[in-house]
């Protein structure tokens, strides 16, 4: 456990405290994709970078876009500006982005032979630009709020790597799962090893909390979810650095459309589970609230509503969680690009204002 003297003590640690179910003054709040396309200043910086991956790989600009939402809003955490597909990119699959179509790979995987050839990337070499960004952001934050590091889950990364991009049917990855499970398990195992190295390197570089995004876990059957997604997230949780700089490094697991498996996710050893908006937070707390913290879970589209309706929804979710620690307020998924930044501000301020009564 190394105490790094160049890091200033945290002025606002309510996000870290809430993840560890310790008392806070108000419910902490941050937004998935808070540094993103809904902000005009983000669009300007991205235009300056040229394209999305150039923005991720430019330390100064990745730091700038991470800080942009914090200048606008009293958020309780910053999240590293990066992409979940950095690991597959570092494995040599040729990541590129088609305008309006999302990420694609030049060399998708289709066989055991493809999987066997894949390297496990060194996070300080092939992914050094991510660690440079973490160090720069942590320095720039100067102890204002904690920094969240993250990765995609092995199943989610494998989905993109086998499908070659986005998919609506998941036909190729499920074909591999059910007709050549040995190949998929080897891929998931390599990815889990890569994610452990990657997230631990982020902690060493300055990340104070970690999040694993299992975007596509919810497309699996319960048995397949446990076999192909949860099992590898559990392996990751077991391999992570959980204490650094004299304090715990909390880990949040988020499976989109995974509300039916909350108990199983909570049993992995993680500190918090992320909820999308399809699960009632009162129900989630009754099921897992004495084991883990809960992050979530307003529908991002609620930010299109009038100000009063947004406040009402925040109040409803806060009342659903009720009194006590262990709630980090967030949207149930990333903020949409067409949201008015003013509405995001109403949401964030409402969380702080309306939650104080639950923390007396």
Instruction: Give the per-residue SS3 of the chain.
Output: CCCCCCCCCCCCCHHHHHHCCCCCCCCCECCCCCCCCCCHHHHHHHHHHCCHHHHHHCHHHHHHHHHHHHHHCCCCCEECCCCCCHHHHHCCCCEEEECCCEEEECCCCCCHHHHHHCCCCCCCCCCHHHHHHHHHHHHHHCCCCCEEEEEECHHHHHHHHHHCECCCCCHHHHHHHHHCHHHHHHHHHHHHHHHHHHHHHHHHHCCCEEEEEECCHHHCCHHHHHHHHHHHHHHHHHHCCCEECCEECCEEEEECCCHHHHHHHHCCCCCEEECCCCCCHHHHHHHHCCCCEEEEEECHHHHHCCHHHHHHHHHHHHHHHCCCCCEEEEECCCCCCCCCHHHHHHHHHHHHHHHHHHHC
CB 210 within 8 Å of CB 248: no
- Measured CA to CA, the distance from residue 127 to residue 298 in angstroms comes to 33
Q: Is 156 marked as a binding-site residue?
A: no
In this prediction, residue 7 carries a pLDDT of 78
Give the per-residue pLDDT at 4: 46
Question: Residues 14, 21, 33, 311: which is the catalytic one?
Answer: 33
As to burial, measured by CB atoms within 10 angstroms (0-12 exposed, 13-18 middle, 19+ buried), residue 212 is buried
* Active-site option among 13, 76, 83, 276: 83
Catalytic-residue membership of 160:
yes
Is 136 annotated as ligand-binding? no
Catalytic pick among 15, 38, 160, 232: 160
- 138 in a known ligand binding site: no
231 counts as catalytic: no
Spatial contact of 353 and 17, defined as CB atoms under 8 Å apart = no
33 labelled ligand-binding:
yes
Task: Give me the pLDDT at residue 99, please.
Answer: 76
User: Binding residue per annotation — 309?
Assistant: no
| Residue among 14, 21, 46, 138 flagged as catalytic | 46
Please tell me the distance from the alpha carbon of residue 352 to that of residue 345, in angstroms, as a whole number. 11
Is 36 a known ligand-binding residue? yes
358 catalytic per annotation:
no
What structural domains does the chain harbor? 49-289 (3.20.20.210)
The tens place of each residue's pLDDT in the chain, 360 residues long, gives 344 446 789 999 999 999 999 999 999 999 999 999 999 999 999 999 999 999 999 999 999 999 999 999 999 999 999 999 999 999 999 999 877 778 999 999 999 999 999 999 999 999 999 999 999 999 999 999 999 999 999 999 999 999 999 999 999 999 999 999 999 999 999 999 999 999 999 999 999 999 999 999 999 999 999 999 999 999 999 999 999 999 999 999 999 999 999 999 999 999 999 999 999 999 999 999 999 999 999 999 999 999 999 999 999 999 999 999 999 999 999 999 999 999 999 999 999 999 999 998
Q: Is the pTM for the entire model greater than 0.85?
A: yes
Residue 92's pLDDT is 96
Q: Distances in Å between the alpha carbon of 236 and those of 117, 130, 221, 276, 299?
A: 22, 19, 21, 22, 28
Residue 214 known to be catalytic: no
333 labelled binding-site residue: yes
37 carries a ligand binding annotation: yes
Q: Which are the contacts of 307, defined by CB distance < 8 A and separation ≥ 6? A: 343, 346
The one catalytic residue in 37, 135, 231, 247 is 37
Opening angle at CA 24, ends 23 and 26, nearest 5: 140
Q: Say if residue 35 carries a ligand binding annotation.
A: yes
Instruction: Give phi and psi for 83, each to the nearest 5.
Output: -135, 155
User: Does the active-site annotation cover 83?
Assistant: yes
Q: What is the CA radius of gyration of the chain?
A: 19
């Amino acid at each position: 456990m190394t105490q790094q003297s160049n890091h200033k003590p945290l002025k606002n640690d309510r996000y870290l405290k809430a993840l560890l179910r310790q008392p806070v003054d108000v419910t902490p709040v941050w937004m998935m994709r808070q540094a993103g396309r809904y902000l005009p200043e983000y669009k300007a910086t991205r235009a300056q970078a040229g394209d999305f991956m150039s923005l991720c790989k430019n330390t100064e600009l990745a730091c700038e876009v991470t800080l942009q939402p914090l200048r606008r809003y009293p958020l309780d955490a910053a999240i590293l500006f990066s992409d979940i597909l950095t690991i597959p990119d570092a494995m040599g699959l040729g990541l590129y982005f088609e305008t309006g179509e999302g990420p694609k790979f030049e060399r998708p995987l289709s066989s055991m032979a493809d999987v066997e050839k894949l390297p496990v990337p060194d996070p300080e070499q092939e992914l050094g630009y991510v660690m440079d960004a973490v160090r720069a952001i942590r320095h720039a934050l100067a102890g204002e709020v904690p920094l969240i590091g993250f990765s995609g889950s092995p199943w989610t990364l494998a989905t993109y790597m086998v499908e070659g991009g986005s998919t609506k049917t998941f036909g190729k990855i499920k074909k591999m799962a059910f007709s050549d499970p040995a190949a998929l398990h080897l891929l998931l195992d390599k990815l889990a090893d890569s994610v452990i190295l990657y997230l631990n390197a982020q902690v060493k570089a300055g990340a104070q909390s970690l999040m694993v995004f299992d975007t596509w876990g919810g497309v699996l059957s319960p048995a397949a979810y446990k076999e192909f997604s949860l099992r590898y997230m559990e392996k990751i949780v077991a391999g992570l650095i959980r204490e650094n700089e004299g304090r715990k490094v909390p880990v949040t697991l988020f499976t989109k459309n995974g509300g039916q498996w909350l108990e199983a996710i909570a049993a992995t050893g993680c500190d918090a589970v992320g909820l999308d908006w399809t699960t009632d937070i009162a129900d989630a707390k009754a099921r897992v609230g004495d084991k883990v913290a809960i992050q979530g879970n307003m529908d991002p589209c609620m930010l299109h509503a009038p100000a009063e309706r947004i406040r009402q929804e925040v109040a409803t979710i806060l009342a659903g969680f009720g009194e006590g620690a262990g709630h980090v307020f967030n949207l149930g998924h990333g903020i949409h690009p067409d949201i008015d930044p003013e509405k995001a501000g109403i949401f964030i301020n409402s969380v702080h204002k309306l939650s104080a009564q639950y923390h007396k």
